[in-house]
Amino acid sequence: METKNIGIKVSQPGAGCNDSNCPFHGQLRIRGRVFTGTVVSDRMARTVTVEWTEMKKLTKYERFEKRRIKLKAHNPACINAREGDMVKIGECRPLSKTKHFAVIENFGKMKGYGLLSEALAESKFKQKKKLEAEDARA
């Protein structure tokens, strides 16, 4: 199977696929912004949720705030990104109401992702406990 040059310097996927929305083997064109993030969910068919953080400057307070950015990206079979993988995503035409990015490179498992997701789950659990305790008091 022929692998297209997508115009961005990335390592080509090893396998082929029959996905028409694959940037390497289909018709999809990658143009616009490129980001690197971590896959936080792979439960949808051929779609992953990618998350990363950015520092945004607040000029008025001369400080930075940390912003968490989360969006959906198309995950073709030849790339097959799984939860915890570091990926590079590129902007493309809207593929659905909320999806206008596609995974173009998979760097493999992110270091310390297990601990990170555990910590997140724990903090959510604590938050829930706290809310429940407040409810009980009210």
For Zn ion, the closer of residues 15 and 69 by Cβ is 15
Specify the stretch interacting with Zn ion by CB under 5 A; choose among 42-50, 58-66, 71-79, 107-115: 71-79
φ/ψ of residue 104, rounded to 5: -115, -10
For Zn ion, the closer of residues 3 and 117 by Cβ is 3
Give the total of residues touching Zn ion (CB under 5 A).
Answer: 6
Specify the stretch interacting with Zn ion by CB under 5 A; choose among 12-20, 39-47, 101-109, 128-136: 12-20
The HSE-up count of residue 133 (CA atoms within 13 Å, CB side) is 6
Residue 17 makes contact with Zn ion by CB under 5 A: yes
What distance separates the 2 farthest-apart alpha carbons in the chain? 65
Closest CA to 41 of 73, 83, 87, 102: 83
Show the tokens assigned to 13. Answer: 């996927």
Show the tokens assigned to 35. Answer: 């980001």
Site for Zn ion in 74-93 (CB under 5 A): 76, 78
